[in-house]
């Protein structure tokens, strides 16, 4: 699965239909807010106006022409260097420009490689006269080219075909009073374009010591990831004299780069101030480099002076600046979407637009003589408090509109400082400023035995020295609900003896002591893993500043781990070869609680397999060593089916491995065949057969139908008619054998021939309903059928539905339903997505039916849940809590039992648990990143169930992310907490279940279903043993 690391932090909304031609400065509310509402289009159907508060802008001071201009490096997509509003403010190296003209003339008459050998040779006296090591850098540098003849990555000739960097540059320094377009915040700036974004980056780079030479020698091992490109861009900016660097981009912690961190630290050591965008996902999960120490992290505000609906927030965000509907420069070669008056300008929104306002302000303060070590403090102390959001007004600019009711505030956004005020920052008097020194989450290791825990937090004094006696701190864990569980703070003390005076830029560490008070047995504590410590810091008589320190409690999994909920299985007979452990996670026999594994040793197309099975005596035994040789390109082979089932009804289980040869990524994609290998419990190969997938593609989820004394794969999906015979006329008229795919019930018969069922009594098969345990064991596949209520000539939008079972290649137990067609609950589910319902009642069934979902009204998801045992239907509309600014995107999981029913819904910015019994909704930040494709994020959250330590009659629904996904430290669960009245009150990640594997153990990732005994467990492979951790909360 590929991770898209690029995060160009720009959210764009459609602006008003037309704006005044020239000048455009009156459209720049961020510089001069006159109280004019700003238009945003949240989606194609919803246009809103955000009311404005006059003067909620950056508050420009009276202009001053500085003696020297400050170089601001814009690390971005490049800049349209000939833009009439920018060409006069871009830094030029005239000697390099003269040489670049000659190079470009050479390229026009010859090949580029020949010209590079001459004009990028540092020994050529006509190039690199500024001695920064980059030949021909007339107006900046692009890191997107390969290594040139000088051994340096990049090239000097570049533009901006995306527009993002050009927009950022205009916010900073578009020319002032030139009778053209817009103006920038500062007149005392030169822009240094550094192109680091243009193509999709690859994997994160490897750790590397930093040195600031532009030469690529010694960097061969550093891959060309985003951090790789950006790190080289920072080196170029440093060597070219930049004093401020703006990053309107970012990447997550999991994709962070040691190289990048060292480069940033080196730049800061040389006095360069780094400004970065916080991100547009309405979360506290900060991007990098925003989370790095001493980087000024910028959130976005709207024209009402409040946090924008999309802006990231938290104590890692230092300051807020305008970021909604910002008009700035844009490449004249690109057609603007939102600004229709002329080419060369565009409205964009995002923290990408807020960050350059702050970068420009930093440069302006520098130009006016403010020392670099005062700038952060002045910006923070001079900032105005954030306002509350004003109610939106519906309708476009030509409509009167309707004032909408305010949304319920499900969490309060906050930051270190409020809205940037440049004028006030110049007037601030010298004073102490105590702020958090580290923005990263603190990891707290817990052995589940200790009642008392501690962790360190750190503060830094950013300005005037202060007597420590004047600094007062008060800390607490704030409960969101009376029934919520949090630790008790017992003390906060200095981590070491410190002098009586806290000096400027001095970092001091404090130890937070806390105690678990909710349970006599600490291992049963229900504290959440993610703890928010609220600290109020007061200096003298000044108003206290509130900060929130984020921490995560993790439980290390070691080979020696022992507890009442941990079962140890010794493993015997394991091969000495290096093997991967593959869970047989599809158990279709009468032993759902039994988890077996395959150990795989793979060398190209030779696969050696051992069955590692539960021998029933509290241990696992490895048997086999069978070799198979799958056909196809080794890199395209992957195991897709791992199943245990009683194939022939003799009471003995067989083991099936289906290996897919993925041909979908070939230059000319082909059908991806799957080869099935069937083994007995001694790993003797009993049978092998191949499915070509030429008629219908093999799905990820297969079911097993009883047919001809055996069981064979079956599924519902799109494809061709396998019974169709091609005659001469057909071959002549349709030589490519094109056939419009139709939904059918496909299955292999006992001869491994592909067959299909499509209709029964006028009903078409449209889906498989998740089978009950007895249906799985018997090889009976339940299906849902639909019949249009109209005619072929005049079809209706209404359908009738029925259920049936498929066995031995035929329909049995057919029954029409009225559940989906009732007057008040009519549901057309043909164009929806389907998934399994997880059972919350104890028993042999892991699943309790199927659910369908699809987009409904008002950006909601319409959910239909079908109980395959009692034939009951639950139908509801599930929407985002912040319905004006958010949308329900996906129903990730549904759970059902006699007492509890619930669904996890993913929105743009939250994970929400909808209690389907009480209609109560609890939310938690999605902590998603805009560089991740939506589907990737949804697929990295998986459903499972937990035993309820307080109610033995039902299970608890949960989602989890695997440890190997690298989305968090260890495995992370999201669990609804139920109050005494049974209603959900918050969504937490339980600390006692926040497992993180240590040396010697690795997670199996796939949960183990405990059958009638419990809910789910996690397995950890620890060399000669397997640890099974029962999941109870």
Residue 609, φ and ψ in degrees, nearest 5: -125, 140
Q: Are strands 244-247 and 70-76 parallel, antiparallel or unpaired?
A: parallel
DSSP state of 431: -
d(C-alpha 876, C-alpha 863), whole Å:
5
Residue 41, φ and ψ in degrees, nearest 5: -115, 110
d(C-alpha 878, C-alpha 874), whole Å:
12
Q: Contact 516/453 with Cβ under 8 angstroms? A: yes
| Annotated active-site residue in 57, 76, 128, 421 | 76
- Strand segments (E) across 67-209: 70-76, 141-147, 153-155, 189-195
CA angle at 800 for the pair 798 and 801, rounded to the nearest 5°: 135
Q: Which residues of 253-287 are buried (b: 16+ CB within 10 A; e: fewer)?
A: bebbbbbbbbbbebbbeeebbbbbbbbbbbbbbbb
Q: Which of 833, 863, 868 is nearest to 847 (CA)?
A: 868
Q: Contact 868/782 with Cβ under 8 angstroms? A: yes
| Annotated active-site residue in 10, 142, 225, 352 | 352
SS3 content of the chain, % helix, strand, coil (to 5): 15, 35, 50
Q: Is the peptide bond before 23 cis (omega within 30 degrees of 0)?
A: yes
Q: Which two tokens stand for residue 934?
A: 């939506």
The burial of 520, by beta-carbon neighbours within 10 Å (0-12 exposed, 13-18 middle, 19 or more buried), is given as exposed
Residue 545, φ and ψ in degrees, nearest 5: -105, 135
Q: Catalytic annotation on 352?
A: yes
Neighbouring residues of 790: CB distance < 8 A, sequence distance ≥ 6: 796, 798
Q: Contact 829/875 with Cβ under 8 angstroms? A: no
Neighbouring residues of 768: CB distance < 8 A, sequence distance ≥ 6: 703, 714, 715, 716, 745, 781, 782, 783, 784, 850
Q: Are strands 141-147 and 189-195 parallel, antiparallel or unpaired?
A: parallel
The burial of 68, by beta-carbon neighbours within 10 Å (0-12 exposed, 13-18 middle, 19 or more buried), is given as exposed
Q: How many CB atoms lie within 10 A of CB 635?
A: 9
Q: Which two tokens stand for residue 82?
A: 């000939």
| Annotated active-site residue in 164, 167, 760, 914 | 164
Q: Contact 1026/572 with Cβ under 8 angstroms? A: no
SS3 263: helix
Q: Which of 677, 723, 1010 is nearest to 842 (CA)?
A: 1010
Q: Torsion-angle region of residue 31: left (phi > 0), alpha (psi -120 to 50) or beta?
A: alpha
Q: How many CB atoms lie within 10 A of CB 815?
A: 10
Q: Torsion-angle region of residue 74: left (phi > 0), alpha (psi -120 to 50) or beta?
A: beta
Q: Which of 809, 732, 727 is nearest to 765 (CA)?
A: 809
Residue 935, φ and ψ in degrees, nearest 5: -65, -35
Instruction: Sheet containing 984-988: give its strands across.
Output: 942-947, 955-961, 972-978, 984-988
SS3 534: strand
d(C-alpha 926, C-alpha 906), whole Å:
8
Q: Contact 426/365 with Cβ under 8 angstroms? A: yes
CA atoms within 13 A on the CB side of 15: 24
Supply the residues annotated as catalytic. Answer: 76, 164, 352
């Amino acid at each position: 699965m590929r991770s898209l690391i690029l995060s160009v932090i720009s959210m764009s909304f459609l602006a008003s239909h037309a704006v005044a031609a020239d000048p455009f400065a009156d459209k720049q509310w961020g510089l001069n807010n006159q109280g004019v509402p700003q238009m945003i289009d949240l989606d194609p159907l919803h246009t809103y106006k955000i009311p404005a508060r006059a003067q909620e802008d950056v508050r420009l001071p009276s202009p001053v022409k500085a003696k020297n201009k400050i170089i601001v490096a814009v690390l971005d997509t490049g800049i349209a260097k000939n833009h009439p509003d920018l060409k006069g403010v871009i830094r030029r190296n005239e000697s390099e420009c003269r040489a670049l003209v000659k190079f470009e003339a050479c390229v026009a008459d010859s090949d580029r490689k020949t010209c590079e050998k001459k004009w990028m040779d540092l020994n050529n006296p006509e190039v690199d006269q500024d001695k920064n090591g980059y030949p021909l850098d007339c107006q900046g540098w692009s890191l997107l080219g390969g290594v040139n003849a000088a051994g340096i990555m990049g090239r000097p000739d570049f533009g901006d075909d995306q527009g993002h960097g050009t927009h950022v540059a205009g916010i900073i320094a578009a020319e002032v009073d030139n009778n053209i377009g817009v103006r920038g915040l500062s007149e005392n700036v030169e822009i240094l374009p550094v192109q680091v974004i243009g193509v999709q980056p690859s994997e994160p780079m490897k750790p590397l010591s930093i040195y600031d030479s532009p030469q690529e020698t010694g960097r061969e091992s550093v891959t060309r990831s985003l951090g790789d490109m950006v790190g080289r861009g920072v080196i170029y900016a440093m060597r070219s004299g930049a004093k401020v660097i703006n990053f309107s981009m970012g990447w997550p912690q999991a994709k962070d780069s040691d190289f990048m961190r060292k480069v940033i630290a080196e730049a800061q050591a040389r006095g360069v101030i780094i400004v970065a965008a916080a991100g547009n996902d309405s979360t506290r999960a900060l991007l990098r480099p925003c989370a790095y120490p001493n980087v000024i992290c910028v959130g976005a505000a709207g024209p009402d002076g409040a946090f924008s609906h999309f802006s990231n927030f938290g104590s890692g965000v230092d300051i807020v600046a305008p970021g909604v509907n910002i008009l700035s420069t844009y490449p004249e070669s690109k057609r603007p979407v939102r600004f229709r008056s002329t080419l060369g300008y565009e409205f964009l929104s995002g923290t990408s637009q807020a960050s350059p306002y702050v970068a420009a302000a930093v440069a302006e303060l520098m130009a006016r003589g403010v020392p670099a070590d005062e700038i952060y403090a002045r910006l923070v102390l001079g900032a105005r408090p954030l306002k509350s959001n004003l109610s939106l007004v519906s309708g476009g600019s030509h409509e009167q509109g309707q004032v909408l009711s305010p949304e319920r505030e499900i969490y309060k956004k906050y930051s270190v400082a409020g809205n940037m005020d440049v004028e006030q920052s110049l007037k601030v008097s010298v004073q102490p400023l105590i702020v958090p020194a580290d923005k990263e989450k603190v990891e707290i290791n817990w052995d589940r035995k200790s009642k008392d825990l501690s962790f360190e937090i750190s503060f830094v004094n950013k300005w005037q020295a202060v007597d420590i006696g004047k600094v007062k701190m008060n800390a607490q864990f704030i409960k969101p609900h009376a029934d919520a569980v949090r630790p008790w703070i017992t003390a906060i003390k200095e981590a070491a003896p410190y002098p009586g005076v806290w000096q400027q830029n001095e970092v001091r560490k404090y130890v937070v002591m806390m105690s678990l008070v909710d349970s006599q047995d600490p291992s049963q504590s229900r504290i959440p893993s993610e703890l928010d410590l609220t600290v109020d810091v007061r200096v003298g008589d000044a108003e206290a500043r509130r900060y929130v320190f984020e921490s995560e409690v993790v439980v290390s999994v070691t080979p020696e781990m022992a507890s009442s909920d941990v079962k140890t299985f010794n493993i015997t007979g394991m091969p000495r070869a290096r093997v991967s452990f593959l869970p047989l996670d599809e158990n279709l026999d009468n032993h759902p609680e039994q988890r077996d594994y395959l150990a795989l040793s793979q060398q190209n197309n030779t696969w050696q397999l051992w069955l590692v099975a539960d021998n029933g005596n509290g241990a696992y035994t490895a048997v086999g060593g069978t070799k198979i040789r799958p056909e196809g390109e080794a890199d395209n082979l992957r195991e897709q089916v791992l199943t245990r089932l009683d194939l022939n009804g003799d009471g003995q289980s067989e083991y099936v491995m289906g290996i897919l040869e993925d041909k979908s990524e070939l230059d000319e994609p082909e059908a991806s065949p799957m080869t099935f290998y069937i083994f007995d419990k001694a790993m003797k190969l009993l049978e092998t057969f191949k499915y070509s997938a030429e008629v219908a593609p093999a799905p990820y989820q297969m079911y097993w139908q009883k047919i001809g004394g055996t069981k064979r794969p079956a599924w519902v999906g799109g494809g061709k008619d396998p019974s169709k015979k091609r005659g001469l006329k057909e071959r002549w008229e349709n030589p490519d054998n094109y056939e419009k795919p139709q939904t059918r019930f496909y299955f292999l018969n006992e001869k491994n021939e592909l067959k299909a069922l499509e209709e029964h009594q006028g009903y078409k098969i449209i889906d498989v309903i998740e089978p009950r345990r007895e249906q799985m064991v018997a090889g009976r596949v339940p299906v849902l059928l639909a019949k249009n209520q109209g005619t072929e000539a005049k079809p209706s939008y209404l359908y009738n539905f029925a259920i049936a079972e498929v066995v031995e290649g035929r329909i049995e137990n057919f029954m029409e339903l009225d559940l989906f067609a009732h007057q008040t609950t009519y549901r057309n589910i043909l164009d929806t997505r389907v998934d399994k319902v997880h059972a919350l009642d104890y028993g042999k069934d892991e699943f309790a039916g199927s659910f369908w979902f699809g987009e409904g009204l008002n950006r909601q998801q319409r959910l239909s849940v079908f109980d395959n045992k009692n034939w009951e239907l639950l139908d509801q509309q599930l929407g985002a809590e912040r319905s004006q600014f958010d949308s329900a995107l996906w129903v990730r999981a549904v759970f059902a039992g006699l007492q509890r029913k619930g669904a996890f819904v993913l929105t743009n910015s939250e994970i929400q648990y909808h209690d389907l019994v009480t209609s109560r909704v609890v939310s938690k930040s999605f902590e998603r990143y805009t560089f991740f494709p939506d589907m990737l994020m949804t697929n990295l959250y998986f459903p499972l169930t937990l035993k309820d330590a307080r109610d033995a009659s039902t299970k608890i629904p949960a989602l989890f992310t695997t440890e190997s996904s690298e989305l968090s430290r260890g495995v992370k669960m999201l669990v609804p907490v139920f109050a005494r009245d049974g209603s959900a009150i918050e969504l937490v990640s339980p600390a006692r279940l926040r497992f993180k594997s240590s040396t010697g153990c690795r997670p199996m990732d796939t949960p183990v279903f405990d059958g009638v005994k419990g809910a789910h467990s996690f397995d950890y492979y620890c060399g000669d043993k397997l640890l099974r951790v029962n999941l109870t909360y």
